[in-house]
């Protein structure tokens, strides 16, 4: 992938702490999905199509608009995505149906709109904090020198390997439906842009996060514009049922469990056919 960074001529004299400072970073997110279709009576060609579509659904582009303390993180909608709609289930570091992830690092809070099976939710909570360990390793990302940081994080994800297996006589617990494990988060941030921001929920480093990864997802920045001519408003989202992250997670897990139960009974996606 070609890395492109747009640098204004006056970047080196521009005061990043000025009141009207703003930046825009473009990120590409890629998630590897491990799915087991071996026990489904599906032609091999169809299995390949399912895997390919899930792969495409988990390759996303996001725009982070940020100033000194606040940011909006939004998915850049693709043309084919508009035609097919946004109702597909996606898995990765963040819920694929999230819209306008707003962070205020000064106040230590975030708001995000999530759509789940036709319902709109507004999540408001405290920003999650990671215990970052700053490493000595550096690398070049575009025109920027990036420094490495690592942290541990517990992540719970739907168990996709067994999501399409049949067998009503084999009941599952929540632990079977969701896999929870501790993973290492690796971040690369640049002190050249000393803002406490990054993609999605990630923040807390002394410079803009240009790249971040966990065990299955990599998010990389491939374009930066500092102090753009046309500035955008950075606003907190509004609308939807307001709840905390824990309350939303409970609803999400319940809905995923229901969908998985339908697949295991053999009726998932069959619209009532025997």
- pLDDT > 80? residue 37: no
Kindly indicate the confidence band of residue 273, based on its pLDDT and cuts at 50, 70 and 90.
very low
pLDDT band at 197 (very low <50, low <70, confident <90, very high): very high
Is residue 160 assigned to a domain?
yes
Count CB-CB contacts under 10 A for residue 108: 11
- Count Cα atoms within 13 angstroms, Cβ side, for 55: 7
State the pLDDT at residue 263.
Answer: 65
pLDDT band per the 50, 70, 90 thresholds, residue 89: very low
Task: Tell whether the model's pLDDT for residue 174 goes beyond 70.
Answer: no
The Cα 225–Cα 23 span in angstroms is 6
Q: pLDDT value at position 211?
A: 98
Which segment of 25-39, 61-75, 86-100, 177-191 scores lowest on mean pLDDT? 86-100
Residue 192 lies in a domain: yes
pLDDT recorded at residue 171: 47
Distance CA 162, CA 260 (A): 9
| Res. 176: pLDDT tops 90 | no
Partners of residue 156 on adjacent β-strands: 180
Distance CA 213, CA 31 (A): 10
Which pLDDT score, from 0 to 100, does residue 90 have?
Answer: 46
The answer to the question of residue 36 being in a domain is yes
- 144-158, strands of its sheet edge to edge: 133-141, 144-158, 178-190, 208-213, 217-226, 23-31, 59-66, 70-75, 98-104, 109-116, 119-126, 241-243
Q: Is residue 271 part of a domain?
A: no
Token pair 């521009």: residue: 14
Tokens of 112: 């995000």
Q: Name the pTM for this structure.
A: 0.78
Q: What is the pLDDT of residue 52?
A: 64
Break the chain down into helix, strand, coil percent, rounded to 5. 15, 40, 45
Give the pair of three-digit tokens for residue 75: 């998915």
126-161 pLDDT, tens digit per residue, is 999 999 999 999 999 999 999 999 999 998 877 665
Structural domain containing residue 88: 11-264
Query: Measured between alpha carbons, how far is 46 from 84 in angstroms, rounded to an integer?
Result: 19
Per-residue pLDDT at 71 exceeds 70: yes
Distance CA 140, CA 53 (A): 33
4 occurs within a structural domain: no
The residue among 192 and 273 whose pLDDT is bigger is 192
Buried b (16+ CB within 10 A) or exposed e, 117-151: eeeebbbebeeeebebeeeeeeeebbebebbbbeb
Residue 1 lies in a domain: no
Record the tokens describing residue 110, joined without a space.
């975030």
The answer as to whether 100 is a domain residue is yes
In the chain, pLDDT over 70 holds for what percent of residues? 66
Percent above pLDDT 90 for the chain: 49
Total domain count for the chain?
Answer: 1
pLDDT score for 141: 95
pLDDT for the residue 267: 55
- As a whole number of angstroms, the distance between CA 238 and CA 123 comes to 10
Residue 5 within any structural domain of the chain: no
Q: What is the pLDDT of residue 262?
A: 72
Q: Between 181 and 107, where is the model more confident?
A: 107
* Reported confidence tier of residue 43, pLDDT bands at 50, 70, 90: confident
User: CB–CB of 76/62 below 8 Å?
Assistant: yes
Question: With bands split at pLDDT 50, 70 and 90, how would you rate the model's confidence at 261?
Answer: confident
């Amino acid at each position: 992938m070609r890395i492109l960074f747009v640098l204004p001529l006056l970047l080196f004299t521009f005061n990043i702490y000025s009141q009207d400072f703003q930046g825009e970073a473009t990120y590409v997110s890629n998630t590897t999905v491990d799915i087991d279709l071996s026990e489904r009576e599906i032609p091999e060609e169809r299995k390949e199509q399912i895997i390919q579509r899930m792969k495409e659904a988990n390759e996303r582009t996001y725009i982070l608009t940020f100033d000194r303390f606040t940011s909006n993180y939004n998915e850049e909608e693709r043309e084919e995505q508009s035609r097919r709609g946004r109702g597909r289930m996606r898995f990765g570091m963040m819920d694929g149906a999230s819209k306008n992830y707003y962070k205020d690092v000064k106040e230590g809070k975030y708001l995000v709109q999530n759509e789940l099976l036709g319902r709109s939710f507004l999540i408001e909570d405290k920003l999650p904090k990671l215990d970052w360990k700053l490493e000595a390793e550096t690398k070049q990302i575009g025109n920027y020198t990036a420094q490495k940081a690592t942290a541990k994080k517990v992540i719970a994800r739907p168990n996709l390997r067994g999501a399409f297996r049949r067998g009503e006589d084999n009941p599952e617990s929540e632990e079977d439906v969701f896999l929870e494990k501790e993973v290492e988060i690796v971040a690369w941030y640049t002190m050249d842009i000393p803002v406490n921001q990054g993609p999605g929920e990630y923040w807390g480093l002394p410079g803009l996060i240009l790249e971040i990864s966990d065990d299955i997802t990599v998010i990389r920045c491939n374009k930066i514009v500092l102090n753009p001519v046309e500035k955008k408003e950075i606003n907190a989202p509004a609308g939807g049922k307001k709840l905390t992250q824990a309350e939303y997670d409970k609803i999400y897990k319940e809905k995923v469990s229901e969908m998985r139960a339908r697949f295991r009974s053999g009726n998932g996606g069959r619209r009532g056919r025997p």
